Amino acid sequence: MTLWATEIKELESLNTSIKGRFPELEKDLEHLIKTNDENVALLYSRRCLEIIVTDLCECELKRPRKTEPLKGIIDKLHREEKVPPHIITSMDHLNSLSTYGTHPKEFDPEQVRPILLNLATIIKWYVKYKDTQTISKATPEEAKDEIKPLDVPKKTIHKSIKSLILLIFGLLLIAVIIGYPRIFKRNNLESLKSSDGRISVAVMPFQNMTNDTTWNIWQDGVQFNLITSLSNYSDELKVRQTESINNLIQSKGLTNYASITPSIASTISQKLNANVFIYGNINKEGTIIRLNAQLFDTKTKEVFKSFQIEGNSEKIMPVIDTLSAMIKDFLIISKLKKEVPADIQPFASKSTNSPEAYRYFILGNNAFDKSDMPTAVKYLSQAIAIDSNFNIAALRLSSAYYNQRLYEEGKKWCLSVYKKRDQMPMQLRLWTNRTYSMFYETPYEEIKYLRQLQEIDDQLPVIYYAIGLAYLWKLDQYDKAIPELEKALEIYEKWDSKPSWVLNYVVLGNAYHKTGQFKKEKKLYRKAEQDFPNNSYLKYNQSILALSEDDTVAANKYIEEFTSICKEYSLSESEITIFLGDTYSEAGIFNKAEEYYRQALLLTPENPQYMYYLAYFLIDKDRDINEGLKLVEKALVLNPDNYEYLDTKGWGLYKQGKYKEASEILQKSWDLRRQFAIYDHKAYLHLEEAKKQL
């Protein structure tokens, strides 16, 4: 076995996962995986890097590489910020060390290991990069088939289920707040749709208000051009044609369009089964022509949208075209709103005037709500590429990265919106502040902003849920969490509607469990099963409850169902085993939990993450602190700046009474965490406990 066998296994797994996607890269990876020669390993590592960098040169620098040195291209990608800095670092290290293989010189075979680790890091990033790039090649219609519901994660992290749910749904509420009061009330535009889902429209002749009869011809001219333009969008709009409209006008003996009042226009529209009519006029001052248009609800005769456009009176056609585009975009976005959850419709649709951007937002949002974060990133990125001021899409994108623990990217998009907060409406500004607090501040600031949103409207269940979530999982303040979470469900019940997601039940159930209210928890899950049958998060919590009540028959049933869902979504045996360890640990059955954690590590003995899972459990539960410290030391050799591993080591040293050393390591962990990740209350408490002993 070579010194770098563990690293080769990871590359082999990566190669399997990209089969058929990058033939040239796969070919060189296969040579690399099969070799036992250190020089050949260096050579093919460099070849893999060259393939990736050459492609980046063409895609990002927009030119072929030709004979330019690899180092020059990497530097150029760095200067132009085309590749993240941490990936540039890996590229530089791989490039410099691999030259020992291309021009054989003396080197230590141990140096092959960091080269392979860097290559794995680069390939993982490159695959995500290519996934993002392919969005431009997919139409929204094609993309709909790509979104599949994901009930379970592809990767586990410490405190797996709790962290998973917190990550996936901690920012899931972005974009919800503004529109939520009207979730169960049909808005005006929703009621204006025909039975086939399209919006039916009648365009009245525009009235000449210029006091110049030579403009009378444009009364019909504007009407005709609007009808012609809007008729091109027959999938979304059902446009009544000029002849039928004007015949009805003439049948009423109306020869002067100025006599067509909104009431008359409404009557004509009703006869044509048009739910919306467009009513407008033409004004002129000097060489400036102005077109005014109003969209009316045919039944109520209420104006729900107005437009005004000006231009050169000698070039009226571009003015008409602009007005037509404005009306078209508004109506199509209104039609598309039915494809977006009602809780974000009013806010999201006001954030862009581009139907194409809105379509991609819908696809991204649907993927997000199904926990398919990589797909959400693809489509939300495309929405922003079309409309760079689509702030709600940027916030959603920020949270999609957050949910994947890609905090650097998440922070970048959060800041892109945050810097514009002073120009935002109050609610969006508060929501942006809340998102910023989740990346950069503490749960206390987050709760402060949520309370301010609550003052604007105290009937939003999503706000109560978010506050309860912050108290429960971010601050461990169960008694404060429960009333908030119960209030959220009360409002849903008052609305005669089920919650938007199972987490409303699961989070409250977790709070009941932590406070020993098992009867309430069981009753709550029975209701949850009706609204969200066969849900993995629910099965997990039911397993813990059954184990806590010594009901092994029920526990085995729920565990089997949970495991089945995990397998359905291709989780590895080691990942499932970690979940089972978490299940028994949460139920307080530590012997069984330890058994599963050890089994998971046996399945992947060289994986530092699995060393860490077992190490933290042994230290935190006082099972075997010495063994836990040995395990985490081994993990730190492979990843010396991992803040989770450092926190675990510091916590173990604290429990051994080595307070000074513990404090130093916990401080280092905390500093790295705040730089590269987000606030963690338990880690904060570890540091504070150690400081108290100095």
The contacts of residue 605 (CB under 8 Å, 6+ apart) are none
Gap between the Cα atoms of 24 and 47, Å rounded: 10
**Cα pseudo-dihedral 456, 459, 462, 468, rounded to 10:** 90
Question: At 671, which helix (H) or strand (E)?
Answer: helix 659-676
Query: Looking at residue 138, what is its pLDDT?
Result: 46
Which regions of 131-215 does DSSP assign to beta strands (E)? Answer: 199-203, 207-208
Average pLDDT over residues 251-268: 87
Portion of the chain with pLDDT greater than 70, in percent: 86
| Number of other residues whose CB lies within 10 A of the CB of residue 217 | 10
Contacts of 361 (CB under 8 A, 6+ apart): 340, 348, 352, 379, 380, 383, 390, 392, 393, 396
Pairing of strands 199-203, 276-285: parallel
Q: And the tokens for 349? A: 């649709």
Helix axes 426-440, 391-403, angle to 10 degrees: 20
CA distance 41 to 43: 5
Could you give the residue ranges of the DSSP H alpha helices within 259-315? 262-271
Q: Which amino acid is at 340?
A: V
pLDDT digits (tens, 9 = 90+) for 429-441: 888 999 899 999 9
DSSP annotation string for 511-543:
HHHHTT-HHHHHHHHHHHHHHSTT-HHHHHHHH
Tell me whether strands 237-239 and 303-312 are parallel, antiparallel or unpaired.
Answer: unpaired
Q: Is 68 left (phi over 0), alpha (psi -120 to 50) or beta?
A: beta
- One fold for both 5-137 and 606-694? no
Distance CA 277, CA 294 (A): 8
Reference 393, options 401, 384, 385; nearest CA is 384
The pLDDT of residue 347 = 46
How confident is the model over 624-682, as pLDDT tens digits?
999 999 999 999 999 999 999 999 999 999 999 999 999 999 999 999 999 999 999 99
DSSP 198: P
Q: 277 - beta bridge partners?
A: 202, 296
Q: Can you give the residue ranges of every domain in the chain? A: 5-137, 188-336, 606-694
337: confidence class by pLDDT, cuts 50, 70, 90: low
Strands 237-239 and 276-285: unpaired
Beta strands 303-312 and 288-297: pairing type? antiparallel
Q: Are 432 and 446 in contact (CB under 8 A)?
A: no
pLDDT greater than 80 at residue 333: no
Helix or strand run (H / E) with residue 312: strand 303-312
Give the per-residue pLDDT at 642. 94
Task: Give the residue with greater pLDDT, 151 vs 28.
Answer: 28
Q: Coil, helix or strand for 237?
A: strand
Q: What is the mean pLDDT of residues 263-270?
A: 91
Q: Would you call 559 helix, strand, or coil by DSSP? A: helix
Distance CA 629, CA 616 (A): 9
Length of the chain: 694
**Torsion sign across C-alpha atoms 602, 606, 612, 615:** positive
Q: Considering only 103-107, 118-122, 501-505, 613-617, which range has the smallest mean pLDDT? A: 103-107
Can you tell me whether residue 81 is helix, strand or coil?
A: coil
Write the pLDDT tens digit of every residue in 378-417: 999 998 998 888 888 898 899 889 888 899 999 999 999 9
pLDDT tens sequence across 117-172: 889 889 988 888 877 665 444 444 444 444 343 444 333 334 444 444 444 444 44
Structural tokens at position 511: 């709070």
| 188-336 maps to CATH 1.10.1380.10 | no
- Calpha distance 308→647 (Å, rounded): 60
Q: Report the C-alpha dihedral over residues 630, 631, 636, 637, rounded to 10 degrees.
A: 80
Residue 551 has a pLDDT of 96
pLDDT for residue 225: 84
Q: Which amino acid is at 129?
A: Y
Q: Which pLDDT tens digit goes with each residue over 426-477?
A: 878 888 999 899 999 999 999 999 999 888 778 788 889 999 999 998 999 9
Percent of the residues in the chain that have a pLDDT greater than 90, as a whole number: 41
Query: DSSP secondary-structure letter at 154?
Result: S
Q: Which residue's structure tokens are 């917190």? A: 166
Q: Report the C-alpha gap between 491 and 607 in whole angstroms.
A: 46
**Dist. CA 583–CA 161, nearest whole Å:** 9
Residue 75's pLDDT band, with cuts at 50, 70 and 90, is confident
Average pLDDT over residues 174-197: 46
Neighbour-count burial of 16, counting CB atoms closer than 10 A to its CB (0-12 exposed, 13-18 middle, 19+ buried): exposed
227-250: average pLDDT: 83
| Per-residue buried b or exposed e for 419-430, using 16+ beta carbons within 10 Å of the residue's own CB | eeeeebeebbbb
Residue 305: per-residue pLDDT: 85
Alpha-carbon gap, residue 355 to 341, rounded angstroms: 17
Give the Cα separation of 421 and 415 in Å (integer).
10
Q: Fold for 606-694, please state it.
A: 1.25.40
Contacts of 161 (CB under 8 A, 6+ apart): 537, 540, 579, 582, 583
Residue 559's pLDDT band (cuts 50, 70, 90): very high
pLDDT at 488: 92
Burial of 464 from C-beta contacts in 10 A (0-12 / 13-18 / 19+): buried
Q: Alpha-carbon distance 201 to 240, whole Å?
A: 6
Give the distance from CA 375 to its chain's centroid: 9
Task: State the fold for domain 5-137.
Answer: Four Helix Bundle (Hemerythrin (Met), subunit A) (1.20.120)
Task: Please name the amino acid found at residue 201.
Answer: V
Phi, psi of 200 (to 5 degrees): -90, 130
Burial readout 84-93 (b: 16 or more C-beta within 10 A, e: otherwise): beebbebbbb
What residues contact 652, with CB distance under 8 A and at least 6 apart? 615, 619, 625, 628, 629, 632
Average pLDDT in the chain: 83
Residues 279, 512: Cα–Cα separation, whole Å: 58
- pTM of the prediction? 0.60
